Amino acid sequence: MPVAGVDIGSLTAKAVVLEDGALLGTSLVLTGHNSRASGRRALEMALEEAGVSEGGLGLIVATGYGRLAADFTEEKVTEITCHARGAHFTTPEAHTVIDLGGQDSKAIAIDDRGKVLDFVMNDKCSAGTGRFLEVMAHALEIELDDLGELSLESEAPAAISSVCTVFAESEVVSRVAEGVSKKDIVAGIHQAIASRIYSMAVRIPVEQKIVMTGGVARNRGVVSALEKRFDSAILVPEMPQHTGALGAAIIAAERLGGSA
């Protein structure tokens, strides 16, 4: 039977419908102020794309920051476990997962089956997260989706010393006033993020190969900065934002007694 995973994050809610290892439907919506409603909407959209009714699902598993509000799901599983399983499914050769989400960051060590061996998480500071990049993009008057490509044009990244959102925003405004080009400022922001994430991740410790998940993985500039900091290629799944929802769906399939 098909199963579903719903990942209700702080900024977006994602859903995946899975059957026999094949993705039948996916969705992504803004979470807004109502976690339950956004999770429900994400599920409905994924079901519509899959051509499956909710009654035709064998099991629904919820994960993410808003999972406890998802009263339409039978089971809840932590995002650490779900990102590990989803990352292993898309990138089985990886043993380290770097997840940069809307408002937190994680580094997870996994074994050959996608089981969590160790992890470290920063949910007290938005440095390196989607929200941090949103604030920086606003300060620079640049579209969020343009940050990555713009930073890759830089040959002289600006020094950004702070990764605190408030102080970094002030520092960015000062760099603009000094006449520093926006591409160099963005590249400097990405380097600061990479240094912060590296310092967190090496506490696991990091094992090759590395896969990156979460919405920030769509930013090629951040990925490139992390590759330089880790001195290693960073693997990015086709839909990095859906990794947690995919992992939840995989767990749902296993708990039905089947396989993903």
**Residue 122 confidence (pLDDT):** 85
Between CA 67 and CA 76 the distance in angstroms is: 6
Between CA 191 and CA 226 the distance in angstroms is: 8
Residue whose C-alpha is closest to residue 210's, from 97, 118, 89: 97
Between CA 1 and CA 16 the distance in angstroms is: 14
Same-domain check for residues 16 and 57:
yes
Q: Do 39 and 6 meet the contact criterion of CB atoms below 8 Å apart?
A: yes
| Beta-carbon-side half-sphere exposure of residue 148 (alpha carbons within 13 Å) | 13
pLDDT in tens, the chain (260 residues): 999 999 999 889 999 999 999 999 999 999 989 999 999 999 999 999 999 999 999 999 999 999 999 999 989 999 999 999 999 999 999 999 999 988 889 999 999 999 999 999 986 667 678 888 999 999 999 999 999 999 999 999 998 877 777 778 888 889 999 999 999 999 999 998 999 899 999 999 898 899 999 999 999 999 999 999 999 999 999 999 999 999 999 999 999 886 55
Same-domain check for residues 104 and 232:
yes
CB atoms within 10 A of CB 220: 15
Same-domain check for residues 260 and 131:
no
Q: What CATH number is associated with residue 60?
A: 3.30.420.40
Q: Do 12 and 215 meet the contact criterion of CB atoms below 8 Å apart?
A: yes
**Residue 258 confidence (pLDDT):** 61
Residue whose C-alpha is closest to residue 237's, from 219, 216, 211, 215: 211
At 226, which helix (H) or strand (E)?
Answer: helix 220-230
**Residue 260 confidence (pLDDT):** 56
- Per the listing, tokens 């109502």 go with 34
Same-domain check for residues 107 and 207:
yes
Same-domain check for residues 40 and 161:
no
Residue whose C-alpha is closest to residue 218's, from 230, 234, 196, 203: 234
CB contact set of 210 (below 8 Å; sequence gap of 6+): 94, 96, 97, 98, 230, 232, 233, 234, 235
Residue 199: both structure tokens together: 């310092």
Same-domain check for residues 224 and 102:
yes
Domain that holds residue 123: 94-236
**Residue 165 confidence (pLDDT):** 74
CB atoms within 10 A of CB 117: 13
**Residue 62 confidence (pLDDT):** 97
Same-domain check for residues 22 and 108:
no
Same-domain check for residues 182 and 154:
yes
Same-domain check for residues 84 and 130:
no
Cα Dmax for the chain: 62
Between CA 48 and CA 172 the distance in angstroms is: 43
Same-domain check for residues 75 and 99:
no
Same-domain check for residues 255 and 160:
no
DSSP character string of 118-136: EEEEE-S--TTSHHHHHHH
**Residue 123 confidence (pLDDT):** 67
Torsion angles phi and psi, residue 90, rounded to 5: -85, -30
Same-domain check for residues 170 and 73:
no
**Residue 208 confidence (pLDDT):** 84
How many domains, in total, are found in the chain? Answer: 2
